[in-house]
A = this chain, B = another copy of it.
Amino acid sequence: MSINALQAIKQDTLSEHVFQQIKEDIITGVIPQGQKIGEAGLAKSYDISRGPLREALHKLESINLVDRRPHSGSRVITLDFAMMQDVYQMREAMEGFATRLACIAMSQSDIDNLYRLLEKHESSIKQSEGKRYLQQEGSLDFHYYIFSKCQNQWLIDYLNNKLYQVLRMCRHRSSQMPFRVEPALHDHYAIVDAINNRDPELAEILMRRHISGAWKIVKNLLDKEKIEE
C-alpha cells in the first residue's frame, strides 16, 4: 500500500476532496510558496462555493501548509531555513521514537515485508537511473511502514498527516538537485536489521542518524543555492 493511496480515503465530501487536491497542488508546487490565496479566486478555479473552500483552508492551516490571518486572508507557507530545520529536528525525535516502539511491536511477518520492500527498492533503483523523485517517494513508503507499526495513534497521525506533508514539499523543492540514493538504501537495511535483531535502542539511533544525515544533505543544498544567487 502506497502512502499516497492512504491519503486518498475519506474524500466523501466536497470539502475533503478539494482539501486533498489543494494540498497536492501546494506540495507539488502548482501553487507556489508564499502565494496569497484569495477565497473567491480559488473557489472559482476549483469550481466550488466558498463554504467548503473555507473548510478546506482550515484543514490546510491545521497541517501547517497555509497561514491564515483573520480578516486578512491566507497564504501558502514558505519553506525558509528555520522552518525546514524545525521540521527535520522534529522528525528526527519523533520518528526515532516511533521506530523504537515499532521495533518492539512488530510481528515477524511485518519485518519480512520490510525486507521485501527494500528488495523492490533495490531493483527499482538499478532499473531507473536518475528518476530520483520517484525513488524518494518509495523511501517514504519505507518510513511510513515502520512508524505505522508503533501502535501510538497520535504519533502515527502527526507523522503521517503533518510532518510528512511538509516533508514532501521540501523534497519537491530540492528534487531537481542531484544526489545519490544508494547510501539511503544502505541505511534502510541497517535499520531493518536492527529491528530484526529486536534491538530497539539501536533501531532508534540508526533511524535518527539516517534522518539527520538527510537533513545535512538538504542543508548543504540550501547553502549552495544561497551562494549561487
Contacts and interface: CB of A to CB of B under 8 A. Distances in A.
Contact of A12 (B64, B70, B89): B70
A97 B93 contact: yes
A16 interface: yes
Contact of A13 (B51, B70, B94): B70
Contacts of A83: 153
B59 A90 contact: no
A166 to B, nearest CB: 9
Given A51-B51, A58-B59, A90 B16 contact: no
A158 interface: yes
- Copies of this chain, complex-wide, total 2
A80 to B, nearest CB: 11
Interface in A43-93: 51, 54-55, 58-59, 62, 64, 70-71, 82-83, 86-87, 89-90, 93
Contacts of A86: 152-155
Nearest to A55: B58
Nearest to A82: B153
A226 interface: no
Nearest to A161: B62
Interface in A187-207: none
A157 to B, nearest CB: 8
A180 interface: no
A126 interface: no
Nearest to A90: B154
Given A55-B58, A59-B62, A94-B94, A71 B12 contact: yes
Interface of A: 10, 12-13, 16, 51, 54-55, 58-59, 62, 64, 70-71, 82-83, 86-87, 89-90, 93-94, 97, 152-155, 158
Given A12-B70, A16-B70, 20 more contacts: A10-B70, A12-B71, A13-B70, A54-B55, A55-B55, A55-B58, A59-B62, A62-B62, A64-B154, A82-B153, A83-B153, A86-B152, A86-B153, A86-B154, A86-B155, A89-B152, A90-B152, A93-B93, A93-B94, A93-B97
**Which 7 A-B pairs rank lowest in CB-CB distance, beginning with the nearest?**
A62-B62, A12-B70, A93-B97, A86-B154, A86-B152, A58-B58, A90-B154
